[in-house]
Chains A and B, each alone.
Chain A
Amino acid sequence: MTETRQHHEAWGSRLGIIMAVAGSAVGLGNFLRFPGLAAQYGGGPFMIAYFTALLLIGIPVSWVEWSLGRQGGARGYHSSPGIFHALIGKPWAKYAGMLGVLVPVGIYCYYVLIESWCLGYAWQALIGAMATPGFDYGAFFAALTGAARDGAGLHFGLGAVGLWLAAVMLINFWFIYRGISKGIERVCVYAMPVLIVIGLVIVIRVLTLGTPDASKPEQNVLAGLGRMWNPGDWARLADPQLWLAAAGQIFFTLSVGAGAIIKYASYLKPDDDVVLSSTTAAAANEFCEVGLGGMMTVPAAYVFFGAAAVGGGTFGLAFQVLPNVFAHMAFGGLFATLFFVLLFLAALTSSLSMLQPGIAFLEEGLGLQRRASVALLGFVTSVGTMLVWWFSGDLKALDTIDFWIGTVALFLNGTLLTVVFSWVLGVEPGWIEAHRGAEMRIPDIFRVVLRYITPTLLLLIFSTFVLKNVFGWNLSFSAPTFAPSGYITDLVGSKASGTARVTVLFILLLAVYGTLLVKLSGERWAAAEAKKGGVGR
């Protein structure tokens, strides 16, 4: 193993790692994507599928990631390639672990841009710019993000994204430079409680909206809650699309497969609890998602603008509908500021967790010191962010990288982690490892779940997802049709998009670069282990 400051990194407190993992999981999706999906598929049926996926996929995979991470950390490895190398001991393992670095670093490249939108919107709300009569929210969003055409968002100034992007990148790398305890933990220990308090304040405000427009009595807060939670048609439970959406949401919301949890858990001591801690982090995320997100965005949007306002997609809801909603309510400027600060905090705690796996790999694999690793990762991610920022027309680059890295590769990594835990390392050794120092016992039924159900479900969901979103399957067995999805026709054929091609080229270059670094790292680890006489000894 390399002698870097990695060895001296550790969590300052148990609550610190719980808040950090919860912070990694709580993101924009909790307050925007989840409510939109629940309202779209009808509260009741969707929640049944959602909680089933939480029990059979979300929480078990969290246990797996925490256990694998702590086990790898005990052997002296803190990066995903290193942990795979140490635990599996095969030449291919470190390359499989590379996804645990590629996924978070790739996601960071565009996520940091969205994070800067949140900060820019918070500022605009604070100065009251968005509450002026006749304000065009769609035009403002297009101008800030550059969605109108490539390069249109490349401006600096308080009303543009450039300044905020620079600030957000500096904030992220400053805390990453400070390390696990003084950086990430300190941010999350303060940010998470603040985020929850802000969320509760906004929920109380939404629940006390009553009927803001007396001429539209049907648009009241109870009807808004009904739009979110009324079950609609229970027959939708037979719709595979609903189950795919619910399982996907659980997967994304808990950040399983994103590479952060395994990395964070590697800094635990060998006898630190992982079962209760991981369950608590998942519970914190669920509270923020269902308890706060589910009570906030959809009801507020419905009360002021009716059902049409709810179906505008994640970005439409957050950056066009809700600012307009806040502008129509008493003390709207204050609540809009609070809301975008909440989104910024949620995004910040997540983006920090996306950088840390890359830093850990560079330090552990190449033996770099913190300054060098921060500089190198800063350069690589800046190239990716610049690409997404410049090719902003229709947010095509952002959408492309979000699909291939933030969705396909994320799914693949989560599935891989579970298959490794359940079928390569074996559930029994993993079960013993998970219970080492555990303050809560996992119910025995989960032995069966982890061995058969979770990996099978993940493989099924991943293959269905690819068949539907890549090969365009209509999810019908009786009359199946396949037509390449937009993400494929963007790359090949007469309708190919230059932006999509450049973005995928960037992803491929990142993967090749990562593979070379993993190869170099493997040689260094092998040499170090030969010197010491074995892995992690």
Chain B
Amino acid sequence: MTTAGWVTMIASVGGVTFFFVWCIWRVVRGHKPDHGLAHIEPVKREETEQR
């Protein structure tokens, strides 16, 4: 196993593991948008229907 092999393995396996855990954490926590979506999504439901 070369150094580059270690780097490839840790980056790949570590990356997807972090990605997976982060996503599951976001889903389980039931995270609500903490950023403004108003520019792409009307805040009021009736406006959504009109769109």
Residues of A within 8 A of B (CB): 14-15, 18, 43-44, 47, 51, 222-223, 225-226, 228-231, 276-277, 279-280, 283-284, 286-287, 289-291, 294-295, 431-432, 435-441
Contacts and interface: CB of A to CB of B under 8 A. Distances in A.
Contacts, number: 105
Contact of B19 (A226, A231, A283): A283
B26 A283 contact: no
Contact of A290 (B1, B2, B12, B27): B12
Given A43-B8, A231-B8, A439-B32, A280 B1 contact: no
Interface in B11-34: 11-13, 15-17, 19-20, 22-24, 26-28, 30-33
B16 A439 contact: no
Contacts of A437: 41
Interface residues of B, number: 32
Contact of A441 (B16, B33, B48): B33
21 contacts: A15-B28, A44-B7, A225-B5, A225-B9, A228-B9, A229-B5, A276-B23, A280-B23, A280-B27, A283-B16, A283-B22, A283-B23, A290-B13, A290-B16, A294-B12, A432-B41, A432-B51, A435-B37, A435-B41, A440-B31, A441-B35
A440 B37 contact: no
Contact of A231 (B4, B20, B40): B4
A294 B16 CA distance: 11
B33 A230 contact: no
A290 B5 CA distance: 14
Contacts of A283: 16, 19-20, 22-24
Q: Specify the main secondary structure of chain B where it touches its partner.
A: helix
A47 B1 contact: no
Contacts of A438: 33, 37, 41
Given A44-B4, A225-B5, A230-B1, A280 B40 contact: no
A232 B48 CA distance: 53
A250 to B, nearest CB: 13
Given A279-B23, A287-B19, A441-B35, A222 B8 contact: no
B16 A291 contact: yes
